[in-house]
A and B are shown apart, each in its own frame.
Chain A
Amino acid sequence: MGTSRTLLLAGAAALSLAGTAAFAQRGADGQVNILYWQAVSILNPYLSSGTKDIQGASVVIEPLARYDENGNLTPTLAAEIPTLENGGVSADLTSITWKLKPGIKWSDGTDFTAADVVFTWLYCTAEGGGCQQEAKFGGVTNVEAIDPLTVKITFDTPKPVPYAAFTGGQGPILQAAQFKDCVGAQAQSCSQQNFYPVGTGPFVVKDFKANDVVVYEANPNYRDPAKPAFQTVQLKGGGDAAAAARSVLETAEFDYAWNMQVEPEILNAMTAKGNGEIVAAFGTSVERFDINLSNPDSALGDKRSTLEGGVHPFLTDPKVIRALSLAIDRQIIVDAGYGPNGRVTCNIVPAPDFNVSTNNDWCKTPDVAAAKALLDEAGWVPGSDGVRVKDGKRLSILYQTSTNAVRQGTQALIKQMWEELGVETELRNVSASVFFGGDPSSPDTFQKLYADVQMYTNNFDGTDPEAYLSSWRCELIPSPANNWLGENMSRYCDPAYDALVAELGKTADPAKRSELAIRLNDMLVQGGAVIPLVHRATVASAKANSLGGVIANAWDSELWNIADWHRVK
């Protein structure tokens, strides 16, 4: 690091001599050091859907269009965004035609054409390829190259929102020439291609060490000759969030660090030193409780936490859920664990504004007395040890989450709030990689939910909540039958909800879509499937003062505009 900093200083000195025109020169600003404390494993978003991997790849490979910081789709490789008005989207909503920007070259100097776009579709949908973004191509029947600069995507049914494929960090275009031998089962053994993809983005991979570090250098064939300002990028992994914050804000060894899940007082003390700041952007991330509506009793054996095993002894009563929600003082949780990177929320769809419900705002003002009254009314009365009982059942909750300092703090706070209510609470934390790992043989995954409630954060890509809200359909309940493959952790099952989701899938009118989204959100919150807690900043990163051009973007990869990043003089 010492040497790179010297180089940087030398570069800066040379620039200040050269005068004002200096910053419009590719590679003039030396190296930028970025820290992702969870290291990048692979640079192919089609084989790994981890945020870190998608973002690491977004520096190199690009989609046709990206979301900007306001959630609007802006063209990258495309010449413009196809719409009904400009004729890009067919009137019957069954096809979309993208015009590509002319003159774009891959980093190896060859031309980027519509054939690469078609290949990317074939690559992801090939048998045996294990493509993790296959859902983005749901309903796509054909992708064809009309001419080298025109791609037409055809759908099996009318698509009110036809922009899922080839947009955002999850939909970059792969080079057909490089990946032609990696289709299908071969995808698994193409480590050279997966580590060193050829792209159209501002940087190319120079050195890749899996789960450790990626070094990029400026792409000589990038479409804007004045960009990127940095000659090299180092994307280092390892350590934890607090250490990453220190490396940017205190020791200044790094210019940018991702995902600052650190207690606010620590961040405040660090930013007070004046080396840098926290940049935040709010997307759709909500820290929430999944309520287990099925019975997690271990005596049930294989039927544990499945609907076949029976319903939960007390969490299916919406009054209990409402009481649990009312007892939580969310502002205390925000102040203790999130600071400026969190806001109180009562909705599972927290953004954008036109989709946000106001019907659940009662939860913003905690009211222990009302919560107690609700439980009394539901027949739960305090027993001799202060824990409420009804029909011989104790109001005792096993509360699990992933291991992380902020979450354990929240657990402790909520445990106290609930115990004040007369609800016994037992805490458990599971290593994040096990918890979110989805390994069907582990009893600790969030799909298994061998607990009464669990807390974690989830979000959706882009601004449209349809796919997200449809994950609470009956058919997506994880169970042994589908190898615990499902997103409906709450085991929420309501035919009316499923019908409303189907209606949303057919509605094109934006106002009507918002109205449906709000209704679905309210069904989940009021039906007791979830208890929303905190609307979290999607981007909460530490940035050194000397780094310019960073625009926090909650709707796409954080590194979406790295071509514009530069050294502030």
Chain B
Amino acid sequence: MLTYTLRRIAFAVPTLIVISFIIFAILELSPGDPMSQVPLTVPIEVRAQIAEALGLNEPFHIRYLLWLNQFFINEPLNLIEHLSGWDLGERPRVTSWITRAPVVDLIAERMPQTLMVVGLAYLFGVLIALPIGIISAYAKYSLFDQFGTLFSMLGYSVPTFLTGTLLILVFSVWLGWFPDSYDTTLVVTDWASFVAQVEQMVLPVTVLTLFNAAQISRFMRSSMLDNLGQDYVRTARAKGLKEQVVVLVHVLRNSLIPVVTVIALGVPQIFAGAIITEQIFRVNGLGALLIVGIEGADYPLVQTLTFIFAVLIVLFNLIADILYGILDPRIRYD
């Protein structure tokens, strides 16, 4: 298992390099040359400086290597400096064109609200989906199952911009229970501010939870159903094991294999997939940042953000594969 894990980690590095190459190439492919993406108002001299900093006058492969240097060495060093307070010398920073501020700072500024809202919604989604999926499968075609199906299909098929608007209408406009806007300047210092924080999170988290739970519960139910019919279940029951043990230990463990993949693969989407919900509730997290970057042709911002997404995806794929090995010893990796 350990060698397998190490080998997979070793494999992740070339994967990332290929992905970074593709991201770079995609932005190269976008019509015109990258320097023309600099706003027109940036004067020619500054353009030349930016071009030089990015190495745009160099041939493609040199430019790509410089780009790697910026992402893999300079920015991590900046991060270390920031976290530890050491001074490791001056380095060029990746600067956003719209705000004229370092991209990494912008991302760091938005991380808290994204993790709070989108991350929590994902956690809740999983926590709700697993029991729903298990019970629905165990009591197949029961009233609970039918309602579970209806709920998850509605959650999945109604666009988040509609559920969000509906929730605002009911809970902000009619009932006045929760605010319709997320205040990113709120700092939790006491009970009152904690309540305010919870209140402002309720609606966006609910919308996203509904959407996430819908998807995962379907996969859980289907996977459970597959396993409930297997011979080993009959054997376990025949052995006289308690029904609880059969379902919650034997079946659940085996059913989790595909579900874990779905869950692990969904985690990176926490950072990219809540664009619409973020906009409706003015959460202004990373999804909103990406959209601002794309719409404003802020390529340093888009490059950095997309590469961070890519790193996260590779990381969680790795985690999914390792969990596979733990959950299903039959899958041999040598």
- Do chains A and B directly touch (beta carbons under 8 Å) in the complex? yes
User: Is A136 positioned at the interface, with any CB of B under 8 Å from its CB?
Assistant: no
A442 and B282 contact, Cβ closer than 8 Å, known pairs A212-B184, A213-B184, A246-B180 = no
Contact of B284 among A127, A195, A238 (CB under 8 A): A238
User: Is A15 positioned at the interface, with any CB of B under 8 Å from its CB?
Assistant: no
**Residues of chain B contacted by A22 (CB below 8 angstroms):** none
Is the Cβ of A243 less than 8 Å from the Cβ of B180?
yes
User: Which residues between 90 and 130 of chain B lie within 8 Å of chain A, taking CB atoms?
Assistant: 95-96, 98-102, 105-106, 109-110
Query: Which of A35, A128, A483 lies at the interface centre, i.e. has the most chain B CB atoms within 10 A of its CB?
Result: A128
Is the Cβ of A130 less than 8 Å from the Cβ of B295?
no
> Once the chains are docked, how many angstroms separate the CA of A419 from the CA of B192?
60
Least distance between B112 CB and chain A CB atoms (Å): 11
A253 and B181 contact, Cβ closer than 8 Å, known pairs A237-B284, A438-B40 = yes
The A-B contact count (CB < 8 A) is 159
**Residues of chain A contacted by B295 (CB below 8 angstroms):** 431-434, 437
User: Is A240 positioned at the interface, with any CB of B under 8 Å from its CB?
Assistant: yes
Is the Cβ of B199 less than 8 Å from the Cβ of A441?
no
User: Is A251 positioned at the interface, with any CB of B under 8 Å from its CB?
Assistant: yes
User: Is B259 positioned at the interface, with any CB of A under 8 Å from its CB?
Assistant: no
User: What per-residue 1/0 map shows which CB atoms of B39-68 lie under 8 Å from chain A?
Assistant: 111110110010000000000000000000
> Once the chains are docked, how many angstroms separate the CA of A130 from the CA of B296?
17
User: Is A254 positioned at the interface, with any CB of B under 8 Å from its CB?
Assistant: yes
Is the Cβ of B181 less than 8 Å from the Cβ of A437?
no
> Once the chains are docked, how many angstroms separate the CA of A209 from the CA of B288?
13
Q: Which of B6-14, B26-34, B231-239, B247-255 lies at the interface?
A: B26-34
Is the Cβ of B288 less than 8 Å from the Cβ of A238?
yes
Least distance between B244 CB and chain A CB atoms (Å): 44
Contact of B195 among A2, A210, A251, A253 (CB under 8 A): A2
User: Is B280 positioned at the interface, with any CB of A under 8 Å from its CB?
Assistant: yes
**Residue in chain B with minimal CB distance to A250:** B173
User: Which residues between 282 and 316 of chain B lie within 8 Å of chain A, taking CB atoms?
Assistant: 282-284, 288-289, 292, 295-297
A191 and B102 contact, Cβ closer than 8 Å, known pairs A243-B280, A434-B295, A441-B36 = yes
**Residues of chain A contacted by B49 (CB below 8 angstroms):** 128, 185
Is the Cβ of A185 less than 8 Å from the Cβ of B46?
yes
User: Which residues between 192 and 237 of chain B lie within 8 Å of chain A, taking CB atoms?
Assistant: 192-193, 195-196, 199-200
Contact of B181 among A1, A48, A432 (CB under 8 A): A1
User: Is B179 positioned at the interface, with any CB of A under 8 Å from its CB?
Assistant: yes
Q: Which of A39-47, A83-91, A104-112, A163-171 lies at the interface?
A: A39-47
User: Is B70 positioned at the interface, with any CB of A under 8 Å from its CB?
Assistant: no
Contact of A194 among B36, B100, B193, B281 (CB under 8 A): B100
Contact of A210 among B30, B41, B109, B179 (CB under 8 A): B109
A132 and B41 contact, Cβ closer than 8 Å, known pairs A238-B288, A433-B295, A441-B36 = yes
Is the Cβ of A433 less than 8 Å from the Cβ of B279?
no
A1 and B288 contact, Cβ closer than 8 Å, known pairs A188-B46, A191-B100, A212-B184 = no
Secondary structure type dominating chain A contacts: loop
Contact of B43 among A129, A213, A254 (CB under 8 A): A129
**Residues of chain B contacted by A250 (CB below 8 angstroms):** 172-173
User: What per-residue 1/0 map shows which CB atoms of B257-297 lie under 8 Å from chain A?
Assistant: 00000000000000000000011111110001100100111
Is the Cβ of A210 less than 8 Å from the Cβ of B31?
no
Is the Cβ of B200 less than 8 Å from the Cβ of A251?
no
**Residues of chain A contacted by B46 (CB below 8 angstroms):** 128, 130, 185, 188
**Residues of chain B contacted by A243 (CB below 8 angstroms):** 168, 180, 280, 282
Can you list 25 A-B contacts (CB < 8 A)? A1-B181, A2-B192, A35-B181, A39-B292, A47-B100, A185-B46, A194-B99, A207-B185, A210-B99, A210-B101, A211-B106, A213-B184, A215-B185, A236-B183, A236-B282, A239-B281, A243-B180, A243-B282, A251-B173, A253-B172, A253-B179, A441-B36, A442-B31, A442-B297, A483-B40
Chain B residues within CB distance 8 Å of chain A: 30-33, 36-37, 39-43, 45-46, 49, 95-96, 98-102, 105-106, 109-110, 168, 172-173, 176, 179-181, 183-186, 192-193, 195-196, 199-200, 278-284, 288-289, 292, 295-297
The 9 nearest A-B residue pairs measured at CB: A441-B32, A433-B295, A238-B282, A191-B101, A212-B284, A210-B99, A2-B196, A128-B45, A251-B172
